[in-house]
Every structure is written in C-alpha cells, then in structure tokens.
Amino acid sequence: MHNSKIIAAKEFRTAYKDKVFIMIVLLFLLMSIASVYIGSTTKNAELKAYQDIVSVIQSEGGALPAAPEIFPLAILKNIITYITMIGAVLAIFLGFDSFSSERENGTLKLLLSKPVYRDQLITGKLLGAGVIIGGILIVTLLFNLTLFIVTTGLLPGVNEILRLVIFFFLAFVYMMSFYIVTLYVSIRTQDRTSGFLIMMVLWVFISFVIPQLADTQKNFAYALNSIASTVTQIPSDTALSKTIEYFSPAVQFSNVSGDLLQTVSATATTSVASVLGKNLPALLDLFFPGILFLILSYTRVQREDAI
C-alpha cells in the first residue's frame, strides 16, 4: 500500500504541474459555479414571464394556466451537462498519458525495476486520480451549496443535501469510469496522442451520438392545450430508445441525476431511496464499464511481457 500511496502522490503533483490540465479544471469549476447563476436567472425570468402571461390573460378575462412548478435543486440542473461534457473530458485529460508517458519517458522501465508490484502501479494511479477528481467535486459541491443558499435564500433540508451528496458521488463514479477506460487505452496504445484521440471519439459516441440515436426512436405524443388550442409535442421513451440508451453511461447518469436534482416533478418530492430504487438498472449500467475496464487494466498489466 505504501508504494501505491507514493505513486498516487506523484500522480497528484504531476497533474497540478500541467498547465493544460489546470486550464480544464478551472473551466470545469467556472462552469459549475456559473451554472447556479444561469439556472437561477433563467428560473427568475421564467417566473416573471409567467406573471406577465397571467396579467395579459387577466386583462382579457381568460382562464389562468397553472403556475410552473419550480423545485429548489432544479436550478443546479446545468451541472449535469457540465459533468457529462467537461467532467468526462477532464478525466480523459488526466488519464490519457498516465501509462504511455511513463513508457515514452523510460520511467516505466525504471519504476518496475524497483520493488514495486505491477498491480501497485495501477492502484497508485487510480488512487491519485480518485483524490484529484474527488477533490475537484468536493470543491464544486461546496461552491454550489453556498451559491444555492445565496441565490435562493433557502437552507437546503436533509433530503436535499442527501440528494446533492449522492449526485456528486455518482458524478465521481461517472468521471472515474472515464478515467479507468482512458487508463486501459493508455496501457494498450504506444503513443499518447492516439490514446487521447481514441478516447475523444469514444466520448463523442457515448455523450452525443448514442443519445441522439436514442432520441430519434422516441415517440412524440401530441398534447392539446384546450385554452389556447395549441399543440405541443411531448417526447416519450420506446423500448428501442431505452435499449439504445443502455449503451451510453452518459444518458444513464443524466437520467438518475435529473431525478436527484428535482428536474422531473414525478420524483422531485419522493425519498432518495425510491429515486435510487427506480433507477437501479441505470445505476448498474453506470458502474459496469468502470468495473469491467478496471479488471481488464489489472489483467493486462500483470500479463504484459514487454510493458
């Protein structure tokens, strides 16, 4: 364990000496913080628009539409997108040269000539990445909580704090999954640029292409508004769209997170346990790639002759 800790500490120091990595961390933190501000501004505008609509309808003597339901945690919903987008790229940036750079610089040979087991090397790298990603998410959580209190003037209850903590834990799992897959690709590829680009293509597929393919297979039901005689299209899942979504951990993360951050009114006031119970298949899908590639990484490093 001691050797793993030393490697983890080295990973931590290396990451924070890398200017490009610092740039993406700052971008992530900035967007996470901005998301609270953007979320609350939009919700305020939405409420004001509703009041304007009510005064227009009252002057015409028509029936009033129901007020939009606004749940407090929903103002943080943009952070789901930022974690799916920038959080995953941040994990790729952290992991793409974790093995290949050691190989290219010749330090891997040197390291393995010392009394360090190969599995300790992987454990050390994982620990280092876990501390970095965990640290970034804890800072984001604290910032978000503070801004949430400042912008809404509300003190979150136990249920809301629990929802937030679980959301950040799932964000940690999601980002670590990307790191682990990147680590595996870094073990398998000879040069770091190829590893990075392979992961970027994978990221594009998981985060955008598969969700869009799933969207095209959704049903669009027509909802009729009896007051204004307007028609709106409401998307609903089909068996095929749900099956396609299982190939994308990004969709599963967004679905569970949407429920946790009260963006869906049906699950906004239920207990955390029932939200997690409802999303059990999605949670399993979220954990599966990380565990699979972790096993593959350990196996590959142990068996490789010319590592």
| Interacting residues with another protein (CB under 8 A) | 19-20, 23-24, 27, 31, 34, 38-39, 41-43, 45-46, 48-50, 52-53, 56, 65, 68, 78, 81, 85-86, 89, 93, 97, 192-194, 196-198, 200-201, 204, 208-209, 212-213, 216-217, 219-225, 227-235
Per the CB < 8 A criterion, the answer to whether 253 and 211 are in contact is no
Cβ-contact 199, 185 below 8 angstroms: yes
Would you say 56 or 149 has its CB closer to another protein?
56
Compute the least distance from the CB of residue 270 to another protein, in Å.
Answer: 20
Q: Which is nearer to another protein, 201 or 295 (by Cβ)?
A: 201
Q: Nearest 5°: CA angle at 297, between 291 and 301?
A: 155
> What is d(CA 41, CA 107) in angstroms, rounded to the nearest whole number?
50
Q: Which is nearer to another protein, 138 or 209 (CB)?
A: 209
Shortest distance, position 65 Cβ to another protein, whole Å: 5
C-alpha distances out from residue 121 to 12, 118, 142, 173, Å = 14, 5, 32, 21
Q: How far is the CB of 117 from another protein (least distance, A)?
A: 30
In the bound complex, what is the minimum distance in angstroms from residue 146's beta carbon to another protein? 21
Positive or negative, the CA dihedral 237, 238, 239, 242 is negative
Phi and psi (nearest 5°) for 287?
Answer: -80, -30
Shortest reach from residue 116's CB to another protein, in Å: 26
> Which C-beta is closer to another protein: that of 78 or that of 123?
78
**Closest to another protein by CB, 97 or 102:** 97
Residues 6+ apart with CB under 8 A from 301: 118, 119, 121, 122, 187, 307
